[in-house]
Chain A
């Protein structure tokens, strides 16, 4: 039995309704408990801001395309190198750090749970292997279904239950957590070098539209009672005028779940563009935020862009090729048979560039114009908008109008006429930041009942203690203190153990991977479906028996079983 007592913590725990109360947190065997014995080890938080461990609801940290981002970028590796020290292994990389690099840097920022945003089922084993070398965070992987042949055929046949059955079989086989649609239909079209422009274009050969894919997969997701909703990367990313496509996609979504949203729309900044071309490119954050304000069934994340160098990587292969033609740097692409694809290119977002400046503003506007922080979570779609180490700066920008104005003065001078940002006075408070970085993420992912994102008794003892005394810091004026405070915890506690202290990671972690196994009836078990098996054997290049991820790959497995309506 191990016990820990965090004394005098100034706690903000939105899911428990605690907002700035100075209190003690008792921890036993990795869980929050009512009280501990006198023998407990004591950590004195002396009034410092204490929150549940951070949860990144959308990041790219492990798996085939992330690793290829490293593989093709020795220049990025040189940009962040640390030697082996104490319990810490050597790390490399800035925008795509090594697995240890990701794990340590997130931990030092108080993050304890990470959702990898896109895993190709065929290559899932790779993601899980990297998860086991990301020791300080619990992990989960959204699984790509955007170009899945079985699903496209079932949708064409109007059989939503079969769509659900294929999702159920695949998630269990590859130990995935949620359903990801990236440019639905577009990734399949890209395997012929084509794309879909928005939600009404038919996908070549399969003759279904993105709208049909989105609607059907959303319904299937609810039939399976998955903890998380469908996680959608809309069609037409990054194109001027694409906000209408985004609104059209959002409009497809009914409210199907009382506990959480029905749709998680990811990196919406990249989907909130006005104009008819790059010359009249402008922000359309207002109509997007207004729409979301009226639709409780939608949660989005910002996809904030921050200036500097990064690497973009997404399953949206055609988008990456278009971006490559703009940037002329280097381009990698990786199509995955019967399932999906991906693309990678390095980019630099520049203050002097008008489009980049507008993109920077849009992410902030989405967060500031969305009334409820539960509906707009803080991400950069790491590393697409920026590496996650920029989160403290984003927090400060959201909390300080003065900081925003100071930054605004440094960007392209024409930005002001294209974006509403300068007119927005709102400054978020500590509680809203806590929602956007942990409580809201836990609710959106459906993991609060599994003990994530809050500090009530029974919760996992994942705690971040920041060297910030919230009654002594005026975030509106002292934004640098906010940045410094969120950049380096005083203590990060993971499952009841102090894993990081003032920038130093102290122990090797014991992370867990969350995945789902929906229970379906015999008739919907795709493992026994003759047509599914025959097609698998004929068109995949891996045998069906060799496809599922073996238990050996999950060091600590947290399986979530659901009862499907199938």
Chain B
């Protein structure tokens, strides 16, 4: 059986043109997906059932037992953390928010360690953006800044930019220029028309210089800015101003380097300035296939995209205080529910030391680095493979993932709903 137009649950591109060949309830071939997507569809070794750590051994337990364990753990915690959410569907994220509200917990998602700074910048200056198809059909200039799509979002170039056919471009490959700005010559830089190599930590200065040039203050620019020559800066600024439609896509090379959210703020203000001359947009290269979805869900339910603390009863938001890394590093948190993410592979050592000391339940289809830190792991269906659900593409377009296999695994939503139902049975003040 071939499932057409399946949706890839790997990265923020959320490609929805995948063909998956299934034989005997097993994926045997995948067409159109990139290597990352294909590996995900082909599957990895999965846990057969929930497991409980007893001393240093894993013991098989039932779903009912695992769910009860998690509910009790969260109910008895004083400062529970519900973290992750970018690797699951929106319906599950909604249950997560209700749960956090009920137990006065903190709910945070992986954007607090990736595009959190982008969100902080947007909250200061806004966001001139668009859907990916607008870029595909119109853009004659695309800038990748601190992002390397060939490695991280392999089909971004073929579906939306460099190699994509566009309605308003006669010959898209020839008529569209690509600029790459990075600290090192990446694979993506190799296929760019212009490569701007910045000294590490120099993004803010380069953005400021470009803004000044666009504002007509070219005289103020020194001979080089963070390793970039004045000539190149002027050339890039002119390319931007003379583009009919320009698009900037930035990654963690801009959000997580020196300057952090101020870099993004500067980049957005550069784009706002360019809009006085031509049409320009800017967007974040979101990593996980539904990390943007968890920002969306959190926002319509609580008002804030990440790092939401319900300990006061109301939704309270103060990134740097109410975000997962900070709560763990301060050793505040006394129980953690991890859903669809792998903090052990990404968080600072100090956080992990604390994670190892508190009860942790993980919902994930696969064992990962966090498994080593958890007391119970509950295997679940993989959204987009054996469960359906909503995911938001990096540009905010929601797509319903398809189910290509049938399994007995419960979905994240089912597990969390059962957990929430148990928690609601407890009398609350």
Interface residues of A (CB under 8 A from B): 62, 64, 67-68, 70-74, 76-77, 81-84, 89-93, 97-101, 122-123, 125-126, 129-130, 133, 149, 190-193, 205, 321, 324-325, 330-338, 341, 344-345, 538-543, 545-546, 550, 552
Known contacts A72-B126, A74-B123, A90-B313; decide if A129 and B159 are in contact (CB<8 Å). Answer: no
20 cross-chain CB contacts under 8 A? A64-B396, A67-B299, A83-B313, A98-B301, A101-B303, A125-B398, A191-B138, A191-B279, A192-B244, A192-B245, A193-B279, A330-B125, A331-B128, A333-B129, A337-B132, A344-B126, A538-B165, A539-B136, A542-B397, A543-B17
Q: How far is it, in angstroms, between the C-alpha of A325 and the C-alpha of B128 when the chains are bound?
A: 13
The answer on a CB contact under 8 Å between A99 and B300 is yes
Chain A contacts for B314, CB-based, 8 A: 81-83, 90, 92
Chain A contacts for B127, CB-based, 8 A: 68, 72, 332-334
Give min CB distance, B268 to chain A, whole Å: 9
The answer on a CB contact under 8 Å between B396 and A123 is yes
Give chain A's interface secondary structure class. mixed
Annotate B286-314 by CB proximity to A: 1 below 8 A, 0 otherwise.
00000000011001111111000010111
The answer on a CB contact under 8 Å between A321 and B130 is no
The answer on a CB contact under 8 Å between A543 and B5 is yes
Known contacts A74-B123, A90-B313; decide if A337 and B399 are in contact (CB<8 Å). Answer: no
Q: Which residue of B lies closest to A89 (CB)?
A: B101
Q: How far is it, in angstroms, between the C-alpha of A330 and the C-alpha of B268 when the chains are bound?
A: 10
Additional A-B contacts beyond A90-B302, A193-B279 (14; CB < 8 A)? A74-B304, A81-B314, A83-B314, A89-B301, A90-B314, A123-B396, A321-B275, A324-B126, A332-B128, A333-B126, A333-B130, A539-B133, A543-B5, A546-B400
The answer on a CB contact under 8 Å between B296 and A542 is no
- Chain A to chain B: the 5 pairs with minimum beta-carbon distance, closest first: A337-B133, A92-B303, A83-B313, A193-B279, A77-B303
The answer on a CB contact under 8 Å between A98 and B300 is yes
Q: Does B167 make an interface contact (CB < 8 A)?
A: yes
Give min CB distance, B397 to chain A, whole Å: 6
Chain B contacts for A192, CB-based, 8 A: 138, 244-245, 279
The answer on a CB contact under 8 Å between B296 and A67 is yes
The answer on a CB contact under 8 Å between A545 and B5 is yes
Q: How far is it, in angstroms, between the C-alpha of A334 and the C-alpha of B398 when the chains are bound?
A: 14
Q: How far is it, in angstroms, between the C-alpha of A100 and the C-alpha of B314 when the chains are bound?
A: 13
Give chain B's interface secondary structure class. mixed
Q: Which residue of B lies closest to A546 (CB)?
A: B16
Give min CB distance, A418 to chain B, whole Å: 31
The answer on a CB contact under 8 Å between B138 and A333 is no
8 Å CB contact of A133 from B94, B132, B137, B295: B94
Chain A contacts for B183, CB-based, 8 A: none
Give min CB distance, A131 to chain B, whole Å: 10
8 Å CB contact of B301 from A82, A100, A330, A543: A100
Interface band, chain B: 35 or more
The answer on a CB contact under 8 Å between A93 and B303 is yes
8 Å CB contact of A336 from B94, B101, B130: B130
Chain A contacts for B388, CB-based, 8 A: 552
Chain A contacts for B299, CB-based, 8 A: 67, 70-71, 98
The answer on a CB contact under 8 Å between A330 and B165 is no
8 Å CB contact of A541 from B98, B129, B132, B317: B132
The answer on a CB contact under 8 Å between A125 and B390 is yes
Q: Which residue of A lies closest to B319 (CB)?
A: A74
Q: How far is it, in angstroms, between the C-alpha of A62 and the C-alpha of B315 when the chains are bound?
A: 19
Q: How far is it, in angstroms, between the C-alpha of A82 and the C-alpha of B314 when the chains are bound?
A: 6
Chain B contacts for A191, CB-based, 8 A: 130, 134, 138, 245, 279
Chain B contacts for A72, CB-based, 8 A: 122-123, 126-127
Q: Which residue of A lies closest to B282 (CB)?
A: A333
The answer on a CB contact under 8 Å between A543 and B16 is yes
The answer on a CB contact under 8 Å between A90 and B128 is no
The answer on a CB contact under 8 Å between A90 and B126 is no
Q: Does B48 make an interface contact (CB < 8 A)?
A: no
Chain B contacts for A149, CB-based, 8 A: 167
- Which B residues from 312 to 332 make CB contacts under 8 A with A? 312-315, 317
Chain A contacts for B167, CB-based, 8 A: 149, 538-539
The answer on a CB contact under 8 Å between A99 and B301 is yes
Give min CB distance, B150 to chain A, whole Å: 19
Chain B contacts for A129, CB-based, 8 A: 90, 300, 390, 398
Give min CB distance, A75 to chain B, whole Å: 8
The answer on a CB contact under 8 Å between A84 and B102 is yes
Chain A contacts for B165, CB-based, 8 A: 538
Annotate B83-126 by CB proximity to A: 1 below 8 A, 0 otherwise.
00000001000100010011000000000000000010011111
Q: Does B4 make an interface contact (CB < 8 A)?
A: yes
Known contacts A123-B398, A133-B301; decide if A334 and B123 are in contact (CB<8 Å). Answer: no
Q: How far is it, in angstroms, between the C-alpha of A89 and the C-alpha of B137 when the chains are bound?
A: 42
> Chain A CB within 10 Å — which of B90, B129, B133, B167 has the most?
B133
Q: Which residue of A lies closest to B295 (CB)?
A: A71
Chain B contacts for A62, CB-based, 8 A: 300
Q: Does B7 make an interface contact (CB < 8 A)?
A: yes
8 Å CB contact of B272 from A101, A331, A337: A331
The answer on a CB contact under 8 Å between A84 and B313 is yes
The answer on a CB contact under 8 Å between B133 and A334 is no
The answer on a CB contact under 8 Å between A330 and B124 is yes
Q: Which residue of A lies closest to B90 (CB)?
A: A129
Q: Does B168 make an interface contact (CB < 8 A)?
A: yes
The answer on a CB contact under 8 Å between B300 and A133 is yes
> Chain A CB within 10 Å — which of B102, B165, B296, B388 has the most?
B296
Q: Does B261 make an interface contact (CB < 8 A)?
A: no
8 Å CB contact of A337 from B7, B17, B136: B136
Q: Does B242 make an interface contact (CB < 8 A)?
A: no
The answer on a CB contact under 8 Å between B300 and A122 is no
Chain A contacts for B5, CB-based, 8 A: 543, 545-546
Q: How far is it, in angstroms, between the C-alpha of A123 and the C-alpha of B314 when the chains are bound?
A: 29
8 Å CB contact of A345 from B126, B132, B312, B390: B126
The answer on a CB contact under 8 Å between B275 and A335 is no
Q: Which residue of B lies closest to A62 (CB)?
A: B300
Chain A contacts for B138, CB-based, 8 A: 191-192
Q: Does B370 make an interface contact (CB < 8 A)?
A: no
Give min CB distance, A389 to chain B, whole Å: 16
The answer on a CB contact under 8 Å between A73 and B301 is no
Give min CB distance, A85 to chain B, whole Å: 8
Q: How far is it, in angstroms, between the C-alpha of A386 and the C-alpha of B221 when the chains are bound?
A: 45
Q: Does B278 make an interface contact (CB < 8 A)?
A: yes
Q: How far is it, in angstroms, between the C-alpha of A335 and the C-alpha of B130 when the chains are bound?
A: 4
Q: Does B160 make an interface contact (CB < 8 A)?
A: yes
The answer on a CB contact under 8 Å between A541 and B124 is no
Give min CB distance, B16 to chain A, whole Å: 5
Q: How far is it, in angstroms, between the C-alpha of A294 and the C-alpha of B134 when the chains are bound?
A: 42
Q: How far is it, in angstroms, between the C-alpha of A341 and the C-alpha of B125 when the chains are bound?
A: 19
Give min CB distance, B323 to chain A, whole Å: 14
> Chain A CB within 10 Å — which of B94, B138, B390 has the most?
B390
Chain B contacts for A90, CB-based, 8 A: 101, 302, 310, 313-315
Q: How far is it, in angstroms, between the C-alpha of A542 and the C-alpha of B400 when the chains are bound?
A: 11
Q: How far is it, in angstroms, between the C-alpha of A332 and the C-alpha of B129 when the chains are bound?
A: 7
Q: Which residue of A lies closest to B428 (CB)?
A: A84
Give min CB distance, B37 to chain A, whole Å: 15
- Which B residues from 120 to 160 make CB contacts under 8 A with A? 122-134, 136-138, 159-160
Chain B contacts for A89, CB-based, 8 A: 98, 101, 301
Q: How far is it, in angstroms, between the C-alpha of A146 and the C-alpha of B138 when the chains are bound?
A: 18
Q: Which residue of A lies closest to B165 (CB)?
A: A538
Q: How far is it, in angstroms, between the C-alpha of A81 and the C-alpha of B317 when the chains are bound?
A: 12
The answer on a CB contact under 8 Å between B400 and A71 is no
